[in-house]
Chains A and B, each alone.
Chain A
């Protein structure tokens, strides 16, 4: 087991190095750039050359990359070109917001998706099943930004159930401990702040959860249908076991194997979905930071760090998924 983890971590390092090179070259070849953004279109060529040199962008790309990697190893990602703050600070302010949103979305997707998928399978061909299938098709096909604006319009303009944007009501102060506002409120016993943060969280989380929810329902349904036909479920019935024992111990535990894999793969969808969702609800997380860093003049240092971070999250989540797989299925452990 330990050897597997070590090997996977080494793979992770290689992946990240390769990815960082790709991002570096890709970003540098995008049209426009920080120099143009900082100086405006009408700057003289002399001033441009001066700033380009000052930022170090005149050097060969390999040299730039080498210097970048040298600093990254020490944990220094440079300073944001837009704000001048260290990139690590900029990101650590935005990161918890996105994680909070993504976690909430995943809780909704799994918490609702697994039971729905199970019920649809159990009642295959009945109206609940047909309704679920139709619903998931809709959920997969509907664009996030459209759903986001739709929900926002209905629930914040027509019916004033939820706040339209942000993570907290303006004027309400909370103590920042972890950056997860709902959790912070609980830790510092500022329960009103916690409730307010949760209230702000619901609509964005639902928006972001739609696609993973639809996927998880479908995977769970298909997987439960497979397991229901297995001989060991018949054996469990022949033993006269109670429904809930058969459901929990014999059906779900086997049926969840593919679902767990899906959860890992959906992390990617969540990260990209977060960009759009955060834009709609002005969430102020990594997604907002990405869009701002691109449109606000190619903030190379911030963008590089964010994309690396996103890749790191994706790979680590999938590593955890693989490890939990071995935990759930003893047949995987032997290898």
Chain B
């Protein structure tokens, strides 16, 4: 049994007077206990919406969520809001992109950590604060006792993200969803935060869903990678498989657009042409077709199915990049 089994998850945004917009289109993936799974794609591919749908954090109005999100065989989408509220922060946690805006500016750090423990572990404020201090210590915040009474604007960006990680892991959840946790940080701090996350999930056995557009993050962290394009999974593979033989032209393009230190001087950076379109045209064929170098006639006739590959992954492509073509 998987820890998390997402089946045909779709999110359609519907505003009055506007055409419905499918942000997530029948996405399926699984997360095994203790595993780290990546959801990768560029802005607007539906990766953040997927995570918010799993957490039950999408706005109550204006969207329709269908499919199943099985967490240890319980469909989270069918839970009453209060039951989901009991699980959030305790069994499933989430950390977000911008650590400054994600912390409440008028509440001391200590209380922001402690309130999770008060809510889910029944601790009183004093006990919760003591545990909060240990948690801050565990995520590598120096002088944790003093930080308890400090406010978010008084500590550095890296420390804020550490504090948010402490909050997310306070109740030892079985699943942690990290939505681009390092995007807003300096490059040097990014590495520290990723190392910390890796160390913590290894120690606690927490499964991690890593949402990112940064393939460097994937390379360092993820066991399995799901590449999303236009709200659909286009390729799924084990990490090494993906980096060695990316089959989908989109994944291939992503990998090739990573700047390399050993490339010849003056060589232009490889980019995928075009940009992600606003409405997803999967109905009229492959959504990536307009930007694809490998496009064939079949691509324009309908969305290609997601099919298993010989190496144990899945691929949604009519004319994949040959296995022999290695990534540059």
B partners with A: yes
Contact (A235, B103) CB under 8 Å given A240-B85, A240-B89, A330-B153: yes
A242 near B105 with CB under 8 A, answer no
A239 touches B98 (CB 8 A): no
Q: Give A238 Cβ to nearest chain B Cβ, in Å.
A: 5
- Judged by a CB distance under 8 angstroms, whether A237 is at the interface is yes
Q: Chain A residue with minimal CB distance to B88?
A: A240
User: B326 contacts the other chain (Cβ, under 8 Å)?
Assistant: no
| A 211-237 to B, binary, CB cutoff 8 A, 1 in contact else 0 | 000000000000000000011101111
B57 touches A240 (CB 8 A): no
With A330-B151, A330-B153 already in contact, the answer to whether A240 and B104 are too (CB < 8 A) is no
CB of B180 to closest CB in A, whole Å: 13
**CB <8 Å contact, B105 and A232:** yes
In the assembled complex, B248 has its CB within 8 A of some CB on chain A: no
- How distant is A327 from chain B, measured CB to nearest CB, in Å? 10
* CB interface residues, B 60-115, toward A, < 8 Å: 85-90, 93-94, 96, 98, 101-107, 115
**Contact status B153-A241, CB under 8 Å:** no
Q: Are B115 and A239 in contact (CB under 8 A)?
A: yes
Check A239 against B104 for contact (C-beta < 8 Å). no
**Is the Cβ of B116 less than 8 Å from the Cβ of A239?**
yes
With an 8 A cutoff between CB atoms, is B164 at the interface? yes
* Chain B positions within 8 Å of A249 at CB level: 104, 107, 115
Count residues of chain B with CB under 8 A from any CB of chain A. Answer: 28
**By CB atoms of chain A within 10 A, which of B86, B105, B120 has the most?**
B105
Taking a contact as CB atoms under 8 Å apart, the answer to whether A242 and B102 are in contact is: no
Q: Bin the interface of chain A by size.
A: 20 to 34
Judged by a CB distance under 8 angstroms, whether A48 is at the interface is: no
Q: Is the CB of A238 within 8 A of B55?
A: yes
Contacts A232-B104, A249-B107, A254-B105: A242 and B119 contacting too (C-beta < 8 A)? yes
Bound Cα distance A254, B107 (Å): 10
* Contacts A231-B98, A238-B94, A330-B153; A254 near B88 (Cβ below 8 A): no
Tell me, yes or no, whether A331 is within 8 Å of chain B by CB. Answer: yes
With A and B bound together, what is the CA distance between A328 and B94 in angstroms?
A: 28
| Contact pattern, A 107-130, Cβ under 8 Å of B = 1, otherwise 0 | 000000000000000000000000
Nearest residue, chain B, Cβ from A234:
B57
For A238, list chain B residues within 8 Å (CB): 55, 57, 88-89, 93-94, 96, 168
Partner of A329, one of B85, B94, B98, B105: B105
What is the minimal beta-carbon distance from B247 to any residue of chain A, in angstroms?
A: 35
Which residue of chain B has the shortest Cβ distance to A243 in the bound complex? B85
Interface residues of A in 29-81 (CB under 8 A from B): none
In the complex, which of the residues B55, B89, B96, B107 contacts A231, with contact meaning CB atoms closer than 8 Å?
B96
**CB–CB B93/A253 < 8 A:** no
Q: With A231-B98, A245-B119, A331-B151 known to touch, is A239 a contact of B167 (CB < 8 Å)?
A: yes
| Also in contact, A237 and B88, with CB within 8 A (given A231-B101, A242-B119, A245-B119) | yes
A247 at interface, CB cutoff 8 A? no
Residue of A nearest to B107 (CB): A249
Known: A235-B96, A245-B115. A240 touches B86 (CB 8 A): yes
* Residue on A nearest B170 in the bound complex, by CB: A239
B101 x A232 contact (CB < 8 A) = yes
Report chain A residues within 8 Å CB of B116.
Answer: 239-241
Q: Which of B104, B120, B164 contacts A250 (CB 8 A)?
A: B104
- Tell me whether A237 and B57 are in contact in the complex, defined as CB-CB below 8 angstroms, given that A242-B85, A330-B151 are known contacts: yes
Residues of chain B lying within 8 A (CB to CB) of residue A328: 106
* Known contacts A245-B119, A330-B106, A330-B151; A240/B90 CB under 8 A: yes
A167-198 vs B, CB cutoff 8 Å, 1 = contact: the mask equals 00000000000000000000000000000000
What is the CB-to-nearest-CB distance from A225 to chain B, in angstroms, rounded to a whole number?
Answer: 13
Q: Is the CB of A234 within 8 A of B88?
A: no
Contacts of B101 in A (CB 8 A): 230-232
**Distance of A328 Cα from B119 Cα, bound (Å):** 24
Which of A230, A235, A236, A242 contacts B164 (CB under 8 A)? A235
Q: List A residues at the B interface (Cβ < 8 Å).
A: 230-232, 234-242, 245, 249-250, 253-254, 328-331, 334
- In the A-B complex, the 7 residue pairs with the smallest Cβ-Cβ separation, listed nearest first, are A240-B88, A240-B89, A239-B89, A231-B101, A232-B104, A330-B151, A231-B102
The interface of chain B, by Cβ under 8 A from chain A, is 55, 57, 85-90, 93-94, 96, 98, 101-107, 115-116, 119-120, 151, 153, 164, 167-168
Q: Could you write out 5 A-B pairs with CB less than 8 Å apart?
A: A231-B96, A239-B88, A239-B89, A249-B115, A330-B106
For the complex with contacts A239-B89, A240-B119, 14 further pairs of A-B residues with Cβ separation under 8 Å are A230-B101, A232-B102, A234-B57, A238-B168, A240-B85, A240-B87, A240-B89, A241-B89, A241-B115, A242-B85, A242-B119, A254-B106, A329-B105, A330-B151
